[in-house]
């Protein structure tokens, strides 16, 4: 056990946070509002991690498609600190499904379920029943079943199973139906049904809003790649450029592969194979204008495809321009040229003649949308049960591959808040953030 629950009386702790992604920034906010001294080490020359946005020629490109869940933990955190998600919930004129390379109406509303030619009447009935049960069913009973197993046993039509899997990919980024927990997926689809925000100027807008709040109290050390973390009875030692610095605690808000290098004992070796990422090959496309303005959103039913014009909901392109994100959800495979070709074919189908309007595009082959998935074999929890690191006193890990109960940035936020709360409690610090006082610590 990490015996960090000791009472450290009135001392203001000196905390190192490794990684200035949203996880690290949220932890920093929670700690500084309680009076802790925080230093953030970030290997890049800016904050944001995977939530960074590149701005060019009036376009704003997130690292692949990014949508903030309106009902998720990260948005709750932002609201609690007075940051409004500046953007909008996309409401496409028409949502499409691709099946056997043909386009159909995607069944998202009662009207589109009735109207779509994607399913037969009996399939529509089965799908409608499932959608109705989503809100009311207690999904705890499906936490230890894989998505594949659940669908095999509960849904008769293979076609309806394929439609449900496409919604699962859309909301979780996971394309690992034999491993991901069905209960966790359905809880995530429920959150997705509350809507997502596409953010004006991209996710960098929330990164900089939090960073601005931290500017006075946090010492940012950019271009500081941490080399190792050691925990001793005297404190936690962080080594950067060969120089060791002493802190009371460290929060490692970095990818699991980095943690394995920095502090090899932090993640037990038997858990490593269970940290299964959700990965995607992403194609980000900026156009002078859309050639088919109606085609705003599509997902693949028999192929793991995603297409959405993010600039229809958020300010991500200059006037008249369009910023489109496409993605191919990867399973175990590595992305190749074949994935890019398939995404370009989809773009041809939805925006014919797009080449004449192209400003620029980029292909990002193997993106970790989430470093882990909640597993059926661990009853819907991620492989690593909690941010507290056993056997490393004062050390915590934060990210979207730890704990239980949410996904993507929402899980990172949840862990960040829980880790900060443990430190705050251990030092008897007062926390001025309402969220900190009300958020559940259970992971
Ligand atoms: C393609 C894609 C799509 C996504 N879509 C969504 C979405 O729609 N909705 C959603 O909720 N989430 C989405 N996510 C996930 C979301 O971006 C992350 O969960 C979120 O940004 C939180 O990340 P984090 O802070 O946990 O980790 P990261 O953002 O990965 O931050 C880790 C930080 O650690 C730094 N670092 C690494 N090694 C070191 C070192 N040795 N020393 C110092 N610093 C180091 C890195 O530079 C980085 O800044 C998506 C991610 C991707 C890639």
Q: 233-237: long-range contacts (C-beta < 8 A, 24 or more apart)? A: 233/393, 235/394, 236/16, 236/393, 236/394, 236/395
Q: How many CA atoms lie within 13 A of 154 on its CB side?
A: 16
- Please state, in angstroms and rounded to a whole number, the distance separating the CA atoms of residues 221 and 214: 13
CB 58 within 8 A of CB 201: no
Centre of ligand 1 to C-alpha 378, Å, is 24
Centre of ligand 1 to C-alpha 43, Å, is 13
In this predicted structure, what is the pLDDT of residue 432?
53
Report residues whose beta carbon is within 6 angstroms of any ligand 1 atom.
18-24, 41-44, 49-51, 63-67, 225-226, 253-255, 258, 280, 282, 367-369, 399-400, 408-410, 412
The pTM for the full model equals: 0.95
In this predicted structure, what is the pLDDT of residue 5?
42
Partners of 260 in the β-ladder: none
Centre of ligand 1 to C-alpha 50, Å, is 3
Mean pLDDT by 10 residues, the chain (443 residues): 46 93 98 96 98 97 98 97 94 94 94 93 96 93 98 97 98 96 98 96 97 96 98 96 97 98 95 97 98 97 98 98 98 93 98 98 97 98 96 96 98 98 89 42 30
Best mutation site among 316, 409, 415, 419 for ligand 1, i.e. most ligand atoms within 8 A of its Cβ?
409
Centre of ligand 1 to C-alpha 241, Å, is 23
Best mutation site among 19, 43, 313, 366 for ligand 1, i.e. most ligand atoms within 8 A of its Cβ?
19
Centre of ligand 1 to C-alpha 22, Å, is 7
Centre of ligand 1 to C-alpha 431, Å, is 26
Q: 254-259: long-range contacts (C-beta < 8 A, 24 or more apart)? A: 254/18, 254/19, 254/226, 254/399, 255/368, 255/371, 255/399, 256/371, 256/372, 256/384, 256/399, 256/401, 259/397
C-alpha angle 277-367-213 in degrees, rounded to nearest 5: 95
* 14-49+205-275+374-438: CATH class: alpha beta
- Paired sense of beta strands 14-18 and 249-252, if any: parallel
Under CATH, which number does the domain 108-193 receive?
A: 1.10.405
Nearest atom (ligand 1) to Cα of 64: 1
- Tell me the domain boundaries of the chain: 14-49+205-275+374-438, 52-68+276-370, 108-193
Residue 98, CA distances (Å) to 146, 300, 302, 395 in order:
25, 5, 8, 47
């Amino acid at each position: 056990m990490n015996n960090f629950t000791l009472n450290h009386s009135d001392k203001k702790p000196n905390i190192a946070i490794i990684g200035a992604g949203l996880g690290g920034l949220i932890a920093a906010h929670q700690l500084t509002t309680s009076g802790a001294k925080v230093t953030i080490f970030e290997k890049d020359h800016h904050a944001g991690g995977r939530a960074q946005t590149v701005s060019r020629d009036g376009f704003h490109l997130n690292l692949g498609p990014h949508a903030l869940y309106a009902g998720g933990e990260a948005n709750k955190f932002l609201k609690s600190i007075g940051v409004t998600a500046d953007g909008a919930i996309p409401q496409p004129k028409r949502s499409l499904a691709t099946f056997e390379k043909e386009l159909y109406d995607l069944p998202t509303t009662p009207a589109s379920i009735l109207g779509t030619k994607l399913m037969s009447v009996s399939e529509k009935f089965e799908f409608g029943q499932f959608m109705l049960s989503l809100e009311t069913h207690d999904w705890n009973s499906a936490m230890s079943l894989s998505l594949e197993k659940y669908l095999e046993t509960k849904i008769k039509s293979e076609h309806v199973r394929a439609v449900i899997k496409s919604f699962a990919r859309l909301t979780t980024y996971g394309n690992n139906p034999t491993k991901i927990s069905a209960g966790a997926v359905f809880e995530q689809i429920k959150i997705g049904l509350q809507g997502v925000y596409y953010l004006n100027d991209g996710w960098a807008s929330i990164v900089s809003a939090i960073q601005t709040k931290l500017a006075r109290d946090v010492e940012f050390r950019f271009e500081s790649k941490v080399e190792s973390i050691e925990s001793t009875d005297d404190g936690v030692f962080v080594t950067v450029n060969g120089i060791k610095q002493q802190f009371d605690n460290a929060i490692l808000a970095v990818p699991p592969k980095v943690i394995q290098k920095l502090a090899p004992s932090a993640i037990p070796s038997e858990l490593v194979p269970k940290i299964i990422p959700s990965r995607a090959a992403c194609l980000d496309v900026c156009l002078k204008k859309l050639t088919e303005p109606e085609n705003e959103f599509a997902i693949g039913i028999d192929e793991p495809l995603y297409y959405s014009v993010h600039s229809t909901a958020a300010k991500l392109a200059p006037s008249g321009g369009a910023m489109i994100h496409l993605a191919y959800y990867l399973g175990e495979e590595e992305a190749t040229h074949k994935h890019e070709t398939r995404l370009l074919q989809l773009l041809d189908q939805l925006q014919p003649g797009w080449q004449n309007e192209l400003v620029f595009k980029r292909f990002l082959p193997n993106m970790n949308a989430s470093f882990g998935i909640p597993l059926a074999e661990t009853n819907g929890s991620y492989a690593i049960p909690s941010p507290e690191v056993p056997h490393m006193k004062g050390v915590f890990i934060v990210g979207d591959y730890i704990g239980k109960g949410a996904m993507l940035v929402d899980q990172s936020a949840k862990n960040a808040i829980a880790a900060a709360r443990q430190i705050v409690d251990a030092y008897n610090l007062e926390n001025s953030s309402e969220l900190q006082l009300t958020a559940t610590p259970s992971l």
